[in-house]
Amino acid sequence: MNKMTLKKWGRDGREGGTVTIYVEEIDSISSYDDRNDFGSIIYMKSGVKHSVGESPMDIELKIAKLSLQLPKAEVMTLRDHFAAAAIPALIASLGNIRLVASRAYQIADQMMYERDQKGGES
């Protein structure tokens, strides 16, 4: 779930700490503006509402930025590459996927060992 932390504001115009909001739980956002204060009211699906000191446009921009963030990709190590290279031949000869995966990494480990013995970088 995407979450964001916003500054809460009291009706007296003073900061009232922060609130963490899960974006998927937002029902609607409206602005408020009186003589002493302005900001947004965030209505949650649960019925709870939060007064915050940011405009609806600023909140929607934060939501848009959150939705554009991609999860961190896993990085394949050299060992993973060696194991992946061994898979086609192992599938052809073994067929059993669990056995293939296990043997692929055994082969990769041996390749890493041999590479280290020859002075290669890991």
25 pLDDT exceeds 60?
yes
Q: Are residues 33 and 64 in the same domain?
A: yes
Q: Are residues 12 and 63 in the same domain?
A: yes
115: left (phi over 0), alpha (psi -120 to 50) or beta: alpha
- The reply to whether 18 falls in a domain is yes
| Count of structural domains, the chain | 2
Instruction: Count Cα atoms within 13 angstroms, Cβ side, for 95.
Output: 0
For residue 95, give its domain range. 78-117
Q: What is the pLDDT of residues 28-71, one digit of tens each?
A: 888 877 666 678 888 999 999 888 888 888 888 888 787 777 66
Short-list 20, 40, 19, 39, CA closest to 29: 40
Q: Are residues 21 and 64 in the same domain?
A: yes
